[in-house]
Structure formats: structure tokens, C-alpha cells
């Protein structure tokens, strides 16, 4: 019988365990408590020399078992190679639930695993629970974030992906006597059809600033033009924050897709989110409504953004921001 909650443990290009793994393990511990303490497990597909350096992290985050598969070729992620290894490994582990971070790698890899195993996969869940029948109830936004759907799966493992920052990692260490189990998979004759010729890490300025920012200053359609976004940048710089944008603003060419917040962009949870000229369509707010505090500036006092913010000011951000800059 399928047993346990398995978390795919992505190793980032710079050889760290992706932070989403520990957000998922925190949620898995909660789910496990509702499933007679079914084991919380990890799957690592990894270069042989790296496994020892990660053991401590898994012990401290409540994992009961860590399964790992090693091969020299695992230093570089390739979809077909990793999928083959993961499929063989998951068949051996036979978990009842499998959770994966909805990162680029997770979204690239997971549908191949679920399809090969003949099971279902629910993408970008924002809530996970165990229902009265012991099934994984995976809730996700759909219809541009306006409708929530709770999805169940008839097959095992019940698989779900979750974006980074949706769940919080465990605050306290949950130290366990983790078992590390090496699995053998047959890849001897496997030849990848994919050749990775080059990988260039994006400059720090282009990445992750949204994920780690305490303060985000975001602009929407109401910021109209490049001048508008230049104002947002000034405000963000003054506050030590970073600039984000709504989908409309990205489509207007005012900001890069990398900083788009919302259903088709990123999910963020800063201490403070300042929404300027953003009407507050659910498509957008689903990506930022877990911010600790939200402040909105908008010319339309009936804009839906004012329904979800803590403080609001009705007015033109083009007039308000310069005044703010002189007062901060």
C-alpha cells in the first residue's frame, strides 16, 4: 500500500537545496499528523559528492527518510535524465502523496513523472489538506485567480506542486533521526536527447529581489508610462525595497515579466506592499494578499484594491509619490 509524503528536493544551480523544500516539509508535517503520522520523506537526485553536505538540513526539518539517487551526470539538470531517475525512484518508494515546488524545474519535471505513473497532478496549490476520507484535498486558483477549486485524485501518488513562498517553513527545528536510503536506478544505457551548452546566472539585480524583499512598491496601469515607473523606483530605493508590476503594466512594456506579481507571475509575501495605480483584480491580488500590510494609492475610490488594503489614499500617485519622497 502506498505510504508516506514524498517531497522532491530540488538542488539549485548553485548547489543549495531550494528553500521551497522546507516550506513543503513544514506543510507535510501538518498533513502527516492527520494521516497517523505517515512518514515525511525526501527524494534527492544528486551528484555523488554532494549528499553528505545536505544531511544536517534534512535532519533538522523533520524528515523521517531521505531517499537519494546518485550519478555523476546529475550535476546538470536535464529533463529526460531526471525524469527517468525520478520515475524509477518514485515507483520504488510508492508514496501516497508527492509534493513538488512549482519552480521552473518542478514544473518542467513533475508532469513527466505523474504522466508516466498514470496519476494526476494539481498545479500551483495554495492550500493542502487531508479530507475526511484521508485523501489529499488540493486547492488552487483557476479562471485567472477568480475561482478556487479543490481537487482530489483517484490514483496514487496524489501529486501537487506549490509555488515558493506560499507556505511558511517551520520556525523551530524538528530534529529527527532521519534515515538516509540510497536507491539504485538503472540508467546505464540512458542517453539524454538534451545537451546543455551554456548556463548564465542572471545578475542579482534581476532575480529573487521580489522573493526576499521586505518592501515592495508595485505599479499597475495607473502608472501610465516610464516616468511613472521611475517614480516607483525612487520610492522603492528610498525605502530599501524593490519594484513590482501588475500584468497590465508588464503588457504595457513598463516593467519586465520577471517582476510581475499575480496569478501568471510571482507570489510574494513582503512586510509591506505598496500598490500604486493598481485596481486590484483578483488575478493580481492572489499573488500579494499574504503581505503583512498593504497600502494602496489609487484615483478611483471604488477600486477593489481598497477592499483588501490596510491603508489607502485616494489620489494620483504621480502627485502623491513626489510629496512622499520629501517626507520619508
Partner 1 sequence: MKIVLCVKQVPDTSDIKWTENNTIQREGLESITNPYDVYAFESALRLKNKYGNVSITALTMGPGQAEEMLRKFIALGADNGVLLCDKKFAGADTYATGKTIASAIESKISDYDLIVCGQFAVDGDTAQTGPSIANFLGIPQVTYVKEILEYSEGSVLLVRELDCGVETVRVKLPALICVLDNDFEPTRATINGIARGQAAKIERYGIDDIDLGVEQAGLKGSPTYVSKAFRAPQKQVECEFLTSCDDLAHQIKVCGGLCE
Site for partner 1 in 83-122 (CB under 8 A): 83, 103-105, 107-108, 110-112, 114-116, 118-122
Closer residue to partner 1, CB minimum distance, 168 or 182: 168
Q: If binding means CB under 8 A, how many residues of this protein chain bind partner 1?
A: 90
Residue selected from 35, 187, 252, 324 as contacting partner 1 according to rule CB under 8 A: 324
> In sequence order, what are the residues at sequence separation of 6 or more whose Cβ sits closer than 8 angstroms to the Cβ of residue 277?
219, 220, 221, 222, 223, 224, 228, 297, 298, 299, 317
Which whole-number Å values give the CA distances from 188 to 67, 81, 185, 254, 325, in the listed order?
20, 11, 9, 50, 62
Restricted to residues 253-272, the positions that interact with partner 1 (CB under 8 A) are: 257, 263-264, 271-272
The reply on whether position 132 binds partner 1 by CB under 8 A is no
Residue selected from 4, 95, 145, 277 as contacting partner 1 according to rule CB under 8 A: 145
State the nearest-atom distance from the C-beta of 84 to partner 1, in Å. Answer: 11
Restricted to residues 277-306, the positions that interact with partner 1 (CB under 8 A) are: 281-283, 285-286, 289, 292-297, 306
Of 60, 82, 63, residue with least CA distance to 11: 82
State the nearest-atom distance from the C-beta of 56 to partner 1, in Å. Answer: 24
Closer residue to partner 1, CB minimum distance, 50 or 324: 324
Among 30-38, 55-63, 91-99, 307-315, which window interacts with partner 1 (CB under 8 A)? 307-315
Restricted to residues 193-212, the positions that interact with partner 1 (CB under 8 A) are: 193-202, 207-208
Angle, helix 317-327 to helix 226-239, in steps of 10 degrees: 30
Of 88, 82, 78, 152, residue with least CA distance to 117: 88
Among 31-39, 52-60, 190-198, 226-234, which window interacts with partner 1 (CB under 8 A)? 190-198
Question: Cell digits for 46?
Answer: 544528486
**Alpha carbon distance 232, 14 (integer Å):** 32
Restricted to residues 52-81, the positions that interact with partner 1 (CB under 8 A) are: 79-80
Restricted to residues 226-245, the positions that interact with partner 1 (CB under 8 A) are: 239-241
Residue selected from 75, 143, 212, 226 as contacting partner 1 according to rule CB under 8 A: 143
Among 27-35, 40-48, 141-149, 226-234, which window interacts with partner 1 (CB under 8 A)? 141-149
Binding mask 3-42 for partner 1 (x = CB under 8 A): ---------xx-----------------------------
State the nearest-atom distance from the C-beta of 105 to partner 1, in Å. Answer: 8
State the nearest-atom distance from the C-beta of 276 to partner 1, in Å. Answer: 11
Residue 157 contacts residue 31 (beta carbons within 8 Å): no
**Alpha carbon distance 121, 137 (integer Å):** 12
Residue 65 contacts residue 126 (beta carbons within 8 Å): no
Restricted to residues 146-165, the positions that interact with partner 1 (CB under 8 A) are: 146-155
Closer residue to partner 1, CB minimum distance, 174 or 313: 313
Task: Using the structure block, give the residue that is written with the C-alpha cell 491580488.
Answer: 285
Helix (H, G, I), strand (E, B) or coil at 118: coil
Task: Using the structure block, give the residue that is written with the C-alpha cell 502608472.
Answer: 223
> In sequence order, what are the residues at sequence separation of 6 or more whose Cβ sits closer than 8 angstroms to the Cβ of residue 139?
125, 126, 127, 128, 129, 148, 149, 150, 151
Amino acid at each position: 500500500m502506498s505510504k508516506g509524503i514524498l517531497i522532491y528536493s530540488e538542488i539549485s544551480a548553485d548547489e543549495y537545496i531550494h528553500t521551497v523544500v522546507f516550506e513543503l516539509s513544514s506543510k507535510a508535517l501538518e498533513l502527516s499528523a492527520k494521516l497517523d503520522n505517515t512518514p515525511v520523506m525526501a527524494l534527492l537526485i544528486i551528484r555523488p559528492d554532494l549528499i553528505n553536505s545536505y544531511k544536517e538540513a534534512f535532519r533538522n526539518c523533520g524528515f523521517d527518510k531521505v531517499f537519494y539517487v546518485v550519478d555523476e551526470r546529475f550535476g546538470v539538470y536535464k529533463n529526460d535524465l531526471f525524469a527517468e531517475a525520478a520515475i524509477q525512484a518514485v515507483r520504488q518508494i510508492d508514496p501516497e502523496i508527492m509534493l513538488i515546488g512549482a519552480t521552473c524545474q518542478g514544473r518542467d519535471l513533475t508532469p513527466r513523472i505523474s504522466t508516466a505513473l498514470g496519476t494526476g497532478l494539481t498545479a500551483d496549490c495554495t492550500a493542502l489538506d487531508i479530507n475526511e476520507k484521508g485523501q489529499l484535498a488540493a486547492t488552487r486558483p483557476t479562471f485567472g485567480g477568480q475561482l478556487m477549486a479543490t481537487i482530489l485524485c483517484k490514483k496514487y501518488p496524489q501529486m501537487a506542486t506549490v509555488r515558493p513562498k506560499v507556505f511558511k517553513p517551520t520556525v523551530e527545528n524538528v530534529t529527527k533521526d532521519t534515515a538516509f536510503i540510497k536507491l539504485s536506478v538503472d540508467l546505464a544505457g540512458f542517453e539524454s536527447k538534451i545537451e546543455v551548452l551554456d548556463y548564465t546566472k542572471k545578475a542579482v539585480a534581476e532575480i529573487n529581489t521580489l522573493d526576499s524583499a521586505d518592501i515592495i512598491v508595485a505599479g499597475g496601469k495607473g502608472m501610465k508610462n516610464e516616468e511613472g515607473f521611475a517614480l516607483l523606483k525612487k520610492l522603492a530605493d528610498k525605502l530599501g525595497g524593490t519594484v513590482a508590476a501588475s500584468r497590465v503594466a508588464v503588457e504595457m512594456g513598463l516593467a519586465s515579466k520577471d517582476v510581475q506579481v499575480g496569478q501568471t507571475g510571482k507570489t510574494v509575501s513582503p512586510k509591506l506592499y505598496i500598490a500604486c495605480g493598481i485596481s486590484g483584480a483578483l488575478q493580481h491580488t492572489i499573488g500579494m494578499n499574504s503581505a503583512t500590510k498593504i497600502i494602496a494609492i489609487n484615483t478611483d475610490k471604488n477600486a477593489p484594491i481598497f477592499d483588501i488594503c490596510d491603508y489607502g489614499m485616494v489620489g494620483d500617485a504621480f502627485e502623491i509619490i513626489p510629496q512622499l519622497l520629501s517626507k520619508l
